[in-house]
Amino acid sequence: LFFNIIIIIPELNKYFFKSMSLIVMKFGGTSVANIEKINNVAKIIQKEIKKNKLIVILSAMAGVTNQMQNYIEEINSKNDIENDLILTSGENVTIGILSSVLNSKKIKSIPLLGWQVPIITDNNHQKAKILNIDKDRINKFLKDYDVIVLAGFQGINLQGNITSLGRGGSDTTAVAIAAATNADRCDIYTDVDGVFTSDPSIVDKARKINKLAYEEMLEMSSTGAKVLHTRSVELAMKNNLVLQVLSSITKKPGTLILDEKNLIEKEIVSGVSYSKNETKITISGIEDKPGISAKLFGLLADGNINVDMIVQNISQDGIYANITFTVPNNEANFASEILESNSSVISFKSLKTDENVSKISVIGMGMMSQSGVAQKMFKTLADNSINILAISTSEIKISVLIEGKYTDIAVKKLHSAYNLNG
């Protein structure tokens, strides 16, 4: 009789089986792009809710944050507080709609904005880092509700202003919440079946990867594979939290991002990524003497600018040198301003910026113990008459800077050269 009751009245299950799991699920912009898609998300939730408590993190509807960014550019607003308020507005809409749909299905749900948790961040507007999450308050909400629907990408700083975590930052909200609540799973639902050997929207032969080490995913994200926000991978690695990236449409098993120890095979190259988000800055006629690089990159660091690749050409006369480096596109103007306005600290003859460049990277754990990987990259590019403008490497990654117009061809040729084609 006991079992009959709990089977007939599933609502009662949770009272008998106290050890429910907590699952964090994140749905990106394309998964909540309209009411039909949000209804689809509600169906996925309906399945999971039978056995679990859920925290669901949402992005804005696809395209909405871009639209907000365009408004900011149109009015040329430089005010961080206002800009972050505008940028984070899209998430407010989606959480309200989903929570309303869930409640109409008799699933007890509450929508929460970042400040209501609160998710405390630092003051770096538009690339804020999460400092603290009030997990006791989350647990209190979880006692009263079956689902928390939480706005991704946003937090609040100690001055009480809304901050945003950087484009694509909802992934980071999800991982930070999963880590803070010690969740049993963290599933990132998106518009592709998982993490692929390269961006499936430009490489039609790209294959889905079943398992990937944190380090590889970290390199892939930070070199442009936008399927996961870089900071979200860092946080998952730090907390040893297994992530699953999967599709909200096909619902096939996705890609697991986990500790390298759980990988049986270590691929020499597991993926090829690209980023068009780099601007090349070349400074010519800078004095060639000790301390110059420290001064130059010190000024940029003080401006909180992320410098990526660096090349210095030794001068022929031993007096002057040229330095080339790359920064994210949206920091290039500020970087130039800083250097031009500090001529008393550092002098040079000219500063040139070039946005028409692209960074191509090959990544793989097996690279550590294998020679010839870089050579294959350089030869493949040379065979296709693609000139290399800068190079940078890590233990498991090689990146080159090339002219932007060769991006697609370079990625496709390298994908094939490393036998990644499916």
CA–CA distance, 110 with 138 (Å, rounded to integer): 11
The mark string for 284-323 relative to ligand ASP (x by CB under 6 A, - otherwise) is ----------------------------------------
- Considering all CA atoms of the chain, what is the largest pairwise distance in Å, rounded to the nearest integer? 93
Q: Is the CB of residue 208 less than 8 Å from the CB of residue 45?
A: no
**Residues 114, 155, 168, 254: which binds ligand ASP (CB under 6 A)?**
168
**Residues 28, 111, 169, 254: which binds ligand ADP (CB under 6 A)?**
28
**Residues 113, 138, 142, 195: which binds ligand ADP (CB under 6 A)?**
195
Cα angle: 269, vertex 266, 24; to 5 degrees: 95
Q: Which is nearer to ligand ADP, 191 or 267 (CB)?
A: 191
Neighbouring C-beta atoms of residue 333, cutoff 10 Å: 12
**Residues 155, 168, 169, 271: which binds Mg ion (CB under 5 A)?**
168
Shortest Cβ 133–ligand ADP spacing (Å): 20
Quick one: what does residue 152 bind among ligand ADP, Mg ion, ligand ASP, none, with the CB cut-off 5 to 8 Å set by partner type?
A: ligand ASP
Using CB under 6 A as the binding rule, whether residue 191 contacts ligand ADP is answered as yes
Neighbouring C-beta atoms of residue 302, cutoff 10 Å: 10
Q: What are the tokens at 64? A: 């909405």
Site for ligand ASP in 54-83 (CB under 6 A): 59-60, 65
CA–CA distance, 54 with 67 (Å, rounded to integer): 30
**Residues 22, 23, 24, 30: which binds ligand ADP (CB under 6 A)?**
30
Quick one: what does residue 274 bind among ligand ASP, Mg ion, ligand ADP, none, with the CB cut-off 5 to 8 Å set by partner type?
A: none
**Residues 28, 194, 200, 254: which binds ligand ASP (CB under 6 A)?**
28
Long-range CB contact pairs, 287-295, < 8 A, 24+: 287/319, 287/320, 287/321, 287/347, 288/314, 288/315, 288/318, 288/319, 288/320, 288/321, 292/321, 292/346, 293/323, 295/345, 295/346
AA letter at 265: E
Residue span binding ligand ADP (CB under 6 A) among the ranges 27-35, 37-45, 120-128, 379-387: 27-35
**Residues 109, 161, 170, 399: which binds ligand ASP (CB under 6 A)?**
170
Quick one: what does residue 364 bind among ligand ASP, Mg ion, ligand ADP, none, with the CB cut-off 5 to 8 Å set by partner type?
A: none
Using CB under 5 A as the binding rule, whether residue 200 contacts Mg ion is answered as no
CA–CA distance, 55 with 24 (Å, rounded to integer): 5
Quick one: what does residue 191 bind among Mg ion, ligand ASP, ligand ADP, none, with the CB cut-off 5 to 8 Å set by partner type?
A: ligand ADP
Binding positions for ligand ASP, rule: CB under 6 A: 28-29, 59-60, 65, 90, 152-153, 167-170
Binding site for Mg ion (CB under 5 A): 28, 168
- Where along the sequence are the contacts to ligand ADP (CB under 6 A)? 28-31, 59, 168, 190-192, 195-196, 198-201, 220, 225-227, 271
